[in-house]
Amino acid sequence: MAQRFVMAIDQGTTSTRCIVFDSNARLVSVAQREHRRYSPRPGWVEQDAVEIWRNVDRIMPQALRDAGIGADQVVALGITNQRETFVVWDRHTGAPVGRAIVWEDIRTEELVAEMASRPGADEVRDRCGLPLATYFSAPSLRWLLDDVPDLRDRAERGDVLFGTMDTWLIWNLTGGVNGGLHVTDVTNASRTMLMNIMTQQWDPELLSFFDIPRRMLPEIRPTTEIHGRTTRVVPGIEIAAALGDQHAALFGQTCFAEGETKCTYGTGSFLLMNTGTKLIRSEHGLLTTIGYQLGGEPVTYALEGSIAVTGSLVQWFRDNLGLIHSAPEIETLARTVKDNGGCYIVPAFSGLFAPHWHSEARGLIVGLTSYITKGHLARAVLEATAWQTREVVDAMNADLGERAGVLRVDGGMTADHLLMQIIADVLDVSVMRPMVAETVSLGAAYAAGLAVGYWPDLAGLRRNWHLAARWTPQMDPRHRDEEYANWKRAVELTFGWATPRHTVDSGQF
């Protein structure tokens, strides 16, 4: 009998990848294509959903060719995606009404500020687990419905469809205008601000508050479920899982037990803790979200700390300032100095996410003197990621009343050993990286394989997790406290820079 495999599509913020895994969770092949990012106005971030679909059309066959296998050897396909990013398209033609609006986009600042003062605003977080912020899909969808002529009428007639990127890809893969499935999973739906976090269904009160027509929304399904078969690109493969990228990383890191925590370091960074069947409402600026849902079982909840800018700060350092030629060079440059020289960079390019939720904050570099070199700036870039992680971990510890002893990490930035050591130092905990770095894609593959019985149970998935590297704290406690105090002073200086000033009071958590 021919060997069997699982395929994953990872539709990320900067690129889309298709990866084939074997039963030992080994990467067999990977095909990847980047897509363009558009910023037509300050604060606007868009992508071309058609370009992303065309990339999928290219990379799925390429991944099969590179693996030397046929579609009949793929038992299941799992899809994971950048969350909150969405597209609206015509049901009859398949054409988007405009570019996809990306999770980093902050065009709805004024709308969010106005919504925060409306009757019923206080109930939004209770229903969906999320604070009113530009980050999530609903405000941008409302903006789009108001901005595009006749779009609301078309939505109310059911002529246009809304979807996060998982929905867009599944609809196209299963036929598009010829019977494509309009579905999403609970993790992606939980990031729209339109799903009730307790019932896992579209919430009538939230739809009314944001004025979103129900007919344009997809059906919400569990994370692991056979949604259908592909009829396009590579026909005949069962789509057996869909989940947001950070939830996929939680799954790929095998954080299946209550209290287990991971942080993915990519464009932004996202720390999730499995809270089991307990729905914990944060009082310290974290998000209550869905971890995953296995078939018809009860959902597994999670607490999340979302950091908007980490890897993208390194890209800014490279592309906008030109101080390095490639992202890995930042570690070499940062190692030319022993510390930051008193310089701190707070990368509030799109405001500040967890635990502050200041949409009006803007980035700054503070502590500049004639002593500062580009090496100090490189060090400050890396430390910005570490201190932002510390803020989220502190909030999580405060919510739970206990301190996590280890942090599992993944994502492209974990290749930077200096950064990982700095994170261990500022957190004062061990940092562990698994052998398989592609945990987002692996999590999608795990979920799909579990749905079809390729892997029998969660315990079997745990056995595939192997330690690649560990970093332990080495920083003097007094120095850690002094540096953290300086960081917090720098963060406070970013508040209130842009207008309108809209903040999420920590009392709402």
| Distance separating alpha carbons of residues 366 and 343, to the nearest angstrom | 6
Ligand-binding site membership of 157 (annotated): no
15, 266, 325 from 320: Cα distances, Å: 20, 18, 11
Nearby residues of 342 by Cβ (< 8 Å), 6 or more positions away = 367, 369, 371, 372, 486
Ligand-binding site membership of 414 (annotated): no
Pick from 90, 87, 88: which is nearest to 100 by CA? 87
Ligand-binding site membership of 441 (annotated): no
Provide the Cα torsion 367, 368, 372, 377; round to 10°. Answer: 70
Ligand-binding site membership of 15 (annotated): yes
| Distance separating alpha carbons of residues 173 and 241, to the nearest angstrom | 13
Ligand-binding site membership of 311 (annotated): yes
Nearby residues of 42 by Cβ (< 8 Å), 6 or more positions away = none
3-class secondary-structure state, position 470: strand
Q: What stretches of 140-189 adopt beta strand conformation (E)?
A: 160-164, 183-185
Contact assessment for residue 112 and residue 133, using Cβ atoms and an 8 Å cutoff? yes
Ligand-binding site membership of 439 (annotated): no
Pick from 219, 226, 177: which is nearest to 75 by CA? 226
* Count of residues making up the chain: 509
Question: What backbone phi and psi angles, to 5 degrees, belong to 362?
Answer: -135, 155
CA-based radius of gyration for the chain = 22
Ligand-binding site membership of 246 (annotated): yes
Ligand-binding site membership of 118 (annotated): no
Ligand-binding site membership of 370 (annotated): no
Contact assessment for residue 206 and residue 127, using Cβ atoms and an 8 Å cutoff? yes
**Binding-site positions:** 13-15, 17, 83-84, 135, 245-246, 267, 311, 315, 412
**Binding-site positions for ATP:** 13-15, 267, 311, 315, 412
**Binding-site positions for sn-glycerol 3-phosphate:** 13, 83-84, 135, 245
**Binding-site positions for glycerol:** 83-84, 135, 245-246
